[in-house]
Amino acid sequence: MSILRDSTTSLYEQIAQQLLDEIQRGAFEPSGKLPSEAELGQRFGVSRVTVRLAVGKLCDDGVVERKQGKGTFAAAKQVRHGLDALRSFHEALLLQGLQPSMRVIGQQLVPTPDALRQLFEGAAQCLCVERLHYVDGEPIALGRSYLPAQLASVVWEEVEQQPIYSVLHSVTGSAVARADMAIRAQQADKALASALGVKRGAALLVMERTSWFADDRCCDRTTFHIRPERYSFVLSGVFASKA
């Protein structure tokens, strides 16, 4: 489709709309990289200034992102996590047709933190497991899980791609029955910034999940530090209105 020079819509807005349509059709996949400003200028027969305005509009709208020294890319699709169903972080990614992966970056038996003693019925020790979650090879979240000490026998490198809930079920024979979640924000410290590939001080979403078996034994306290530009939480339901 060519641009209309006698249209009441400006040239850069027309170009931005055409590029948006192409992005939504997947025209620039798999890399997501858009042509250079010079190539777009030649294609549409406009100046670089006009192209820059069009790309700037897409940037402002969150459709594309500029990467220093690499070019302009279609922004990564945002992951949506429903709060109205009991499912693991990993399963929420799979359900959206994404290609998630996980990498264990640490596991050890530790003294049960004072704040968790009551949850874990006074147990002196629990297992702390840290995993990085990826989508399309890019880190999206760091999860730190406190689990019953009996999971210390698990060879975590062998179950690296299994959700925590699945590992809990296979070891204990019990399925997770319910979970509470709390969401807040936090700035990335040096360690989180390095792990997630963000700037120190960048805003992160924090999801704290506490899970129980059917007999009311706490089996999981996991804290996820999540890159917010890639992730959103949604709650679906029917709400009655009040007059």
Contacts of 226 (CB under 8 A, 6+ apart): 140, 141, 204, 205, 206, 207
Residues 56-111 pLDDT 10s: 998 887 788 888 888 888 876 666 666 666 777 777 777 666 778 899 999 999 99
Residues 11-69 pLDDT 10s: 999 999 999 888 878 888 767 889 999 999 999 999 999 999 999 998 887 788 888 88
pTM: 0.67
Q: List the chain domain ranges.
A: 11-74, 79-234
Contacts of 228 (CB under 8 A, 6+ apart): 185, 203, 204, 205
Q: Does domain 79-234 have CATH number 3.30.565.10?
A: no
Q: What's the CATH architecture for 11-74?
A: Orthogonal Bundle (1.10)
